[in-house]
Amino acid sequence: MYNYNEITFKTSLGNIQLASKNKEIVSIQFTTKNLKQSNLALLNKAKKQIEEYILGQRKLFDIKINPEGTEFQKTVWKKLYTIPYGKTVSYLKLANSLNTSPRAIGNACGKNPLLIVIPCHRVLSIKKELTGFSALGGIITKKKLLKIENIKI
């Protein structure tokens, strides 16, 4: 059994909890948990980069990640990771590129353990509408993330 290391910090979007295992970030989630500090360099580096992103000062992340999920989920997340900052893609387009259904893409997005870094918030309906967002705060949080990237909806 591996030990997880965690940090929880306050942002303008709400509290964010990061977790690492084996020198890789395995979870980035919005949370209602209390603040928690860490002396682990990896967690503090990831925290700093997320804070820079929220302030509009960072477009790419330079942290080691290892999302835990099924092979299909990992395939979807890898594809999501390639969506450029400030751009969006539809569930349908992603589904077609992976030979699957928009619903399957949506389900994988809903299980994304690395919010912000794996940008599931950049996936919209074919009509460019905000549909589900399973993170704490739901669609309101998704809107805020898109606003950071100057994406107009």
Per-residue pLDDT tens over the stretch 39-81: 999 999 999 999 999 999 999 999 999 999 999 999 999 999 9
**What is the structure's pLDDT at 11?**
96
Asked whether residue 1 carries a pLDDT value surpassing 50, the answer given is no
Percent of the chain with pLDDT over 90: 80
Contact 26, 19 (CB under 8 A): yes
Per-residue pLDDT tens over the stretch 17-46: 999 999 999 999 999 999 999 999 999 999
Per-residue pLDDT tens over the stretch 102-142: 999 999 999 999 999 999 999 998 877 667 667 776 778 88
Catalytic sites, residue numbers: 120
3-state secondary structure 14-36: EEEEEEEECCEEEEEEEECCCCE
